[in-house]
Amino acid sequence: MPAADFRALYQRLRGQAQWGPDDRRGALNHITPARLAAAAGEVRAGRTVTMAAPLATSAADNPEPGARHMKSLPGEPSDVAGLTFAADQLVMNIHGDVDSHIDALCHVSYDGALYNGIASGAVTSKGASELSIEEAQDGIAGRGVLLDIPRLRGVRWLEPGDQVTAAELAAAEAAQQVRVSPGDLLFIRLGHRLRRQELGPWDVPRSRAGLDPRAMDFVADRQVAVLGSDSNSDAAPSTVAGVAFPVHVLAINAMGLYLLDYLQFEDLAPLCEAAGQWSFLCVIAPLRLPGGTGSPVNPIAIM
Amino acid sequence: MPAADFRALYQRLRGQAQWGPDDRRGALNHITPARLAAAAGEVRAGRTVTMAAPLATSAADNPEPGARHMKSLPGEPSDVAGLTFAADQLVMNIHGDVDSHIDALCHVSYDGALYNGIASGAVTSKGASELSIEEAQDGIAGRGVLLDIPRLRGVRWLEPGDQVTAAELAAAEAAQQVRVSPGDLLFIRLGHRLRRQELGPWDVPRSRAGLDPRAMDFVADRQVAVLGSDSNSDAAPSTVAGVAFPVHVLAINAMGLYLLDYLQFEDLAPLCEAAGQWSFLCVIAPLRLPGGTGSPVNPIAIM
Amino acid sequence: MPAADFRALYQRLRGQAQWGPDDRRGALNHITPARLAAAAGEVRAGRTVTMAAPLATSAADNPEPGARHMKSLPGEPSDVAGLTFAADQLVMNIHGDVDSHIDALCHVSYDGALYNGIASGAVTSKGASELSIEEAQDGIAGRGVLLDIPRLRGVRWLEPGDQVTAAELAAAEAAQQVRVSPGDLLFIRLGHRLRRQELGPWDVPRSRAGLDPRAMDFVADRQVAVLGSDSNSDAAPSTVAGVAFPVHVLAINAMGLYLLDYLQFEDLAPLCEAAGQWSFLCVIAPLRLPGGTGSPVNPIAIM
Amino acid sequence: MPAADFRALYQRLRGQAQWGPDDRRGALNHITPARLAAAAGEVRAGRTVTMAAPLATSAADNPEPGARHMKSLPGEPSDVAGLTFAADQLVMNIHGDVDSHIDALCHVSYDGALYNGIASGAVTSKGASELSIEEAQDGIAGRGVLLDIPRLRGVRWLEPGDQVTAAELAAAEAAQQVRVSPGDLLFIRLGHRLRRQELGPWDVPRSRAGLDPRAMDFVADRQVAVLGSDSNSDAAPSTVAGVAFPVHVLAINAMGLYLLDYLQFEDLAPLCEAAGQWSFLCVIAPLRLPGGTGSPVNPIAIM
């Protein structure tokens, strides 16, 4: 896509995100109380399913992987009377490749500004004074919808580099008999997690399936509140001249749309298939990290 | 409480936790599909509320506080074409004082064993091979109930060292016109978070309000699935001879009951009061940390 | 000291640091091969002594203390054939209070610039592209001299807030029969480490003994190559209007003088006293941290 | 080498390390005051050279690489009056592959014991209560000798898997006209750092050049105090049946000999060559890490 076309797309999408100059919630505004209350009606079978992958502590496809260290072990001498504790420490880069996380609206700067024209200088070495993940401190709950693109195409997964178009999203809706509606949390399965399980890690930073940037018109038209995938929504390499992560720019920066990267739908998709139901109550609970640019998450589908 | 009485209480509670030698879910077994489906009916107003506190990055009451470091800043020279990212790293001790977290069933060793008699050696410097937080990977959802003890007593908060009895839990039920039922996620407000906000940090490790260990009979009788408070459930100093954290031993080790420590109810309690409704749908989404002894969490109440 | 006087002092000291616009070594230029070769002659008894303190892992006087975590333990099951390893991880803020460290010349920005007029923008979230600690990658070795101010005054330690004048430095030289000479590594004992051992930690960030900023004229006149103390050279609170760390500004930013903070002389001073010799060969070995703003160090005195 | 031969070698070397049951210094005992004082005479030209490599922060040959994060940046708004600081945090696994470090005597457990028969249980999740790196808190200084094996063989570097014999060490002595003497710090250049610079990282954990385990007889006979190389002394894969790191077991566990791994001699070797002098004063300054199993180091050669 030529740079001029991308810029026009950016301007159009930004123009549709109109919640006033003081807005900090972006597309979360699409989740109204009535829509959330209705989403609770999606719970039928009474079961929960994870949409996250386990923390990856190897460097196979992440040059700076997360880690967990033990701080105390059961059975060791201890100054705690009568019992011993097992305790550990967590270290992780929030946006590390292949770890499931949510991007806050401060995550992407474009043309010197964050979402809604807030100056990039709002983020310093101390963190974000505006648009941090604390804007979502009360969690994000609503109707989740999973669109399964490999199912639509009759393949096991999309190959790295491939892009999903708006037309395919609409076709997946039809195939799955579900319609993405205002306030929905939209999840798009590309099969990358299954590919990784079966073929092993690859150079994800350089080679990913993702969305055609023009598919963001579909996302905006349907008034989607949150977008997630089992890749990071952006294909690599980018097909937009001069912009490496066009979907991130459009979603986070122009539309105020939280992205969830590197999720995992291998548990959820079979249950949806079996139930013939591709919608569910979905709850995303970012950690409360003041100034944070995002958070590790384990989004839960409740069916 | 004399050591012999504690041991008898331990044995009685352990004897009631009967899901077989292979069980790894403990009191989560109380959450049946029917109970979860019914809990979705608690959603009326269509709003979400956090039950976590912001990550504490100062050492005022935590000798080894969590931290967040920036990895990249917007506006700096970058090798990403066309945009810049704000990104950071999270570091935290999962069981650090005053940070909201959930304890996995491997957290407490007593008499050389974890829950259900699993040998403590299942936890090594690499993590827990049994009973790690991954046992709760699909999240924990059910009917949440908040009992507000300062409200019952007509005080703003309990003072450090104070203990809540089973009789008070029952009295709070009556006062709030709510009944703790099988499969519920029970949260007990002691007012410690409000006290900290108003009076500042204190020496929490040495001085906390909590539950009378005998109140765990109430918790077991009602078949509670998860227990949390805005302290850490155990009063300090302990009143049990030779056991510093008796409630942790009884809950996690004997009953297989996940504990949530250092939560925050200052947002939720006023909403419950205003609505005259002290129950809600509650979703807890532990991070997927293979081998982990617990996880930071942001439990979400949906009303 | 009024702001104008400080500025004049700054300009005068900066004017004396003349090694050309491309210089990156600053006062290390004072260490010539001949001076280093002569310093080797200080070795007589054939013994080494540490000038560092143990890593402080408690938060008593450091709001974000260092930490050490075990990564593997001996005796645990292992995939290494025939032996087991004990291994750990180190985490530390390089300039954390009370941990012994060296400040690189990029550490202090004043009037928008680092040492020798290098723009502050040379330091980004990725580290320092100029004046990082790698400039001292080959280590710093030379003649060390210890001046003991409590000894001069006949007290055990200086109280927080106190300042050492140039006249006292000269008086200490006379009392100890040693003269600070060009290229020397100058260490000044204030007794703060002993005070901490005996009275316990205090609020070091707000209350420290240090040097009178005017004493930097003495340091410059003597062509000192490196300056260290068992406080951080700057007294707190500052007596310079509007400048919280005047000695840091003068030393690092104006003079290009590496500072060593929070050292420990309780092992060295008694040996010097017994030998009647307050000079020694001194070796400082900063870690090789590309882009780093300093390094933890353990300076070694060889007598 | 058959397992029985290795065990006999282990017993013989252990039998030669006789400093009594309370000894904790091991081969450092070979450094006497007279030998250290004599080593100072090695300083002639008056220059220092690093023997460490820069911290490797990529995962190319280290699955859990070190990291440096900025904590504050110059030029940002700050609550420090009149100046701003650049500051960072260091994180590193002390024994991480390809980072220069020293192994403490608690690092290796063999047959359930550490050096000198100390039970492995002396190391817990809190660190080592015996034989930690604090045993070397005063630094290690003495006469350093560099033996250059690629120079002896007329190659640029040894290929991974190759082993250096005792005969080659003696031949290198002859070729370089230097003799390894009691109390010396012995460094052996294998060329691995040069190979990595030129050919890039490889799978170091699985494939390294190192020493023939029988060469440890040479090291013991010469009463070497410290041994280091630009690999980790142990070749991979091991040629000893059932023991993956035989040199580590012999050196650290049997002989009480500190090992330095992944050093860098590309700066030092040309200077030695030019001067025709392969000995120098060497100073190793481990950080003071209470309970630590080793330390990052930057050994300094002073010529």
Residue among A36, A109, A285 whose CB faces B74 most closely: A109
Interface test with C, best of D78, D288, D295, D303 (most C CBs within 10 A): D288
At C299 the pLDDT is 98
pLDDT in tens, B136-157: 999 999 999 999 999 999 999 9
Say how many C-beta atoms besides its own lie within 10 A of residue B167's C-beta: 12
Share of chain C above pLDDT 90, in %: 91
Contacts of residue C226, defined as CB under 8 A and 6 or more positions apart, other chains included, come to C27, C28, C140, C142, C185, C186, C257, C258, C259, C260, C284
Determine the average pLDDT of the residues in C40-59.
94
Rounded to whole angstroms, the Cα distance separating B59 from B201 reads 10
At D62 the pLDDT is 79
Residue reference for tokens 């925050």: B264
pLDDT in tens, A188-202: 999 999 999 999 999
At A61 the pLDDT is 78
Contact call for residues A154 and A122 (beta carbons, < 8 A): no
At B124 the pLDDT is 95
Residue C252 three-state SS = helix
At A31 the pLDDT is 98
Please give the structure tokens belonging to residue B272.
């419950």
Say how many C-beta atoms besides its own lie within 10 A of residue D127's C-beta: 22
User: Residue C62: which pLDDT band, with cuts at 50, 70 and 90?
Assistant: confident
Please give the structure tokens belonging to residue B47.
């709003």
**Interchain CB contact of C296 with D (< 8 Å):** yes
Rounded to whole angstroms, the Cα distance separating A70 from B123 reads 9
CB contact under 8 A, D70 and A125: yes
Residue B238 three-state SS = coil
Please give the structure tokens belonging to residue B217.
């009979």
Q: For residue D262, give the amino acid letter.
A: Y
Contact call for residues D149 and D167 (beta carbons, < 8 A): no
pLDDT in tens, C18-42: 899 999 999 999 999 999 999 999 9
Residue C116 three-state SS = helix
Residue among D71, D89, D125 whose CB faces B125 most closely: D125
Is pLDDT at C79 greater than 90 in this prediction? no
Across all residues in chain C, what is the average pLDDT?
96
Interface test with B, best of D70, D88, D95 (most B CBs within 10 A): D70
- Average pLDDT per run of 10 along chain D, which is 303 residues long? 96 95 98 98 98 88 85 88 93 92 97 96 95 98 98 98 98 98 98 96 93 98 98 96 97 98 98 98 98 98 98
Chain D residues with CB under 8 Å of C238 CB are: 81
Rounded to whole angstroms, the Cα distance separating C243 from D82 reads 4
User: Residue C78: which pLDDT band, with cuts at 50, 70 and 90?
Assistant: confident
Handedness of CA C11, C13, C18, C19 (dihedral sign): negative
Rounded to whole angstroms, the Cα distance separating D254 from D17 reads 7
Rounded to whole angstroms, the Cα distance separating D245 from D233 reads 9
At D219 the pLDDT is 98
Please give the structure tokens belonging to residue B249.
């031993």
CB contact under 8 A, D64 and A59: yes
Rounded to whole angstroms, the Cα distance separating A121 from A113 reads 8
Across all residues in chain A, what is the average pLDDT?
96
> How close is the nearest chain C Cα to the Cα of B99, in Å?
15
At B187 the pLDDT is 98
Element (H, E) at B101: strand B101-103
First to last CA, chain B: 39
User: Residue B250: which pLDDT band, with cuts at 50, 70 and 90?
Assistant: very high
At B301 the pLDDT is 98
For residue B237, cis peptide bond before it (omega within 30 degrees of 0): yes
Please give the structure tokens belonging to residue B30.
């109380």
Q: For residue A265, give the amino acid letter.
A: F
At C77 the pLDDT is 86
Chain D residues with CB under 8 Å of C68 CB are: 127, 289-292
Interface test with B, best of A293, A295, A297, A303 (most B CBs within 10 A): A293
Residue among D59, D67, D124 whose CB faces A59 most closely: D59
Rounded to whole angstroms, the Cα distance separating C295 from D52 reads 14
- Work out whether strand C294-296 and strand C101-103 pair parallel, antiparallel, or are unpaired: antiparallel
- Residue in chain B nearest C71 by alpha carbon: B125
Please give the C-alpha separations between residue B286 and each of A285, B279, B290, C241, in angstroms, as whole numbers.
Answer: 9, 21, 11, 51
Please give the structure tokens belonging to residue C134.
């790698």
Chain B residues with CB under 8 Å of C70 CB are: 125
Task: Assign 3-class secondary structure to chain D.
Answer: CCHHHHHHHHHHHHHHCCCCCCCCCHHHHHCCHHHHHHHHHHCCCCCEEECCCCCCCCCCCCCCCCEEEEEECCCCCCCCCCCEECEEEEEEECCCCCCCEEECCCCEEECCECHHHCEHHHEECCEECCCCHHHHCCCEEEEEEEEEHHHHHCCCCCCCCCEECHHHHHHHHHHHCCCCCCCCEEEEECCHHHHHHHHCCCCHHHCECEECHHHHHHHHHCCCCEEEECCCCECECCCCCCCCCHHHHHHHHHHCCEEEECCCCCCHHHHHHHHCCCEEEEEECCCCCCCCCEEECCCEEEC
Determine the average pLDDT of the residues in C149-170.
98
Q: For residue A156, give the amino acid letter.
A: R
**Interchain CB contact of B89 with D (< 8 Å):** yes
Residue A258 three-state SS = strand
Chain D residues with CB under 8 Å of A71 CB are: 125
Contacts of residue A190, defined as CB under 8 A and 6 or more positions apart, other chains included, come to A149, A150, A157, A158, A162, A164, A209, A210, A229, A230, A231
pLDDT in tens, C125-143: 999 999 999 999 999 999 9
At B62 the pLDDT is 79
**Interchain CB contact of A80 with B (< 8 Å):** yes
pLDDT in tens, B180-197: 999 999 999 999 999 999
Residue among C47, C86, C112 whose CB faces D75 most closely: C112
- Which residues 117-156 of D have a C-beta within 8 angstroms of C? 120-121, 123-128, 134, 137-141
pLDDT in tens, B58-105: 777 777 888 899 999 998 888 888 999 999 999 999 998 899 999 999
What's the residue count for chain A? Answer: 303
At C60 the pLDDT is 76
Listed residue (D297, D245, D295) closest to D133, CA to CA: D295
At A62 the pLDDT is 79
Residue among A69, A73, A125 whose CB faces C71 most closely: A69
User: Residue C63: which pLDDT band, with cuts at 50, 70 and 90?
Assistant: confident
> How close is the nearest chain B Cα to the Cα of D159, in Å?
33
> How close is the nearest chain B Cα to the Cα of A146, in Å?
17
Residue among D50, D53, D288 whose CB faces C50 most closely: D288
User: Residue B57: which pLDDT band, with cuts at 50, 70 and 90?
Assistant: confident
Please give the structure tokens belonging to residue D64.
């859990």
> How close is the nearest chain D Cα to the Cα of B66, in Å?
14
Is pLDDT at B222 greater than 90 in this prediction? yes
Please give the structure tokens belonging to residue B241.
């001879």
Across all residues in chain B, what is the average pLDDT?
96
CB contact under 8 A, B124 and C64: no
Q: What are phi and psi of A208, to 5 degrees?
A: -140, 150
> How close is the nearest chain D Cα to the Cα of B71, in Å?
6
Angle at A86 between CA B295 and CA B59, to 5 degrees: 65
> How close is the nearest chain A Cα to the Cα of D67, in Å?
8
Say how many C-beta atoms besides its own lie within 10 A of residue D47's C-beta: 18
Q: Which of A205-219, A282-296, C53-67 has the lowest mean pLDDT?
A: C53-67
Surface-to-core class of residue C18, CB atoms within 10 Å of its CB (0-12 exposed, 13-18 middle, 19+ buried): exposed
User: Residue C162: which pLDDT band, with cuts at 50, 70 and 90?
Assistant: very high
Rounded to whole angstroms, the Cα distance separating B129 from D232 reads 31
**Interchain CB contact of D72 with A (< 8 Å):** yes
Residue among D73, D93, D267 whose CB faces C71 most closely: D93
Q: Which of A72-81, C246-255, D267-276 has the lowest mean pLDDT?
A: A72-81
- Work out whether strand D123-124 and strand D101-103 pair parallel, antiparallel, or are unpaired: unpaired
CB contact under 8 A, C290 and D55: yes
pLDDT in tens, A92-151: 999 988 999 999 999 999 999 999 999 999 999 999 999 999 999 999 999 999 999 999
Rounded to whole angstroms, the Cα distance separating A6 from A234 reads 14
pLDDT in tens, A224-260: 999 999 999 999 999 999 999 999 999 999 999 999 9
What are A121-126's contacts with CB under 8 Å, separation 24+? Answer: A121/B75, A123/A293, A123/B70, A123/B73, A123/B74, A123/B86, A124/B70, A124/B73, A124/D73, A124/D76, A124/D77, A125/B70, A125/B73, A125/C125, A125/D70, A125/D71, A125/D72, A125/D73, A125/D76, A126/A291, A126/B70, A126/D72, A126/D76
Share of chain A above pLDDT 90, in %: 90
Rounded to whole angstroms, the Cα distance separating A103 from A124 reads 17
User: Residue A274: which pLDDT band, with cuts at 50, 70 and 90?
Assistant: very high
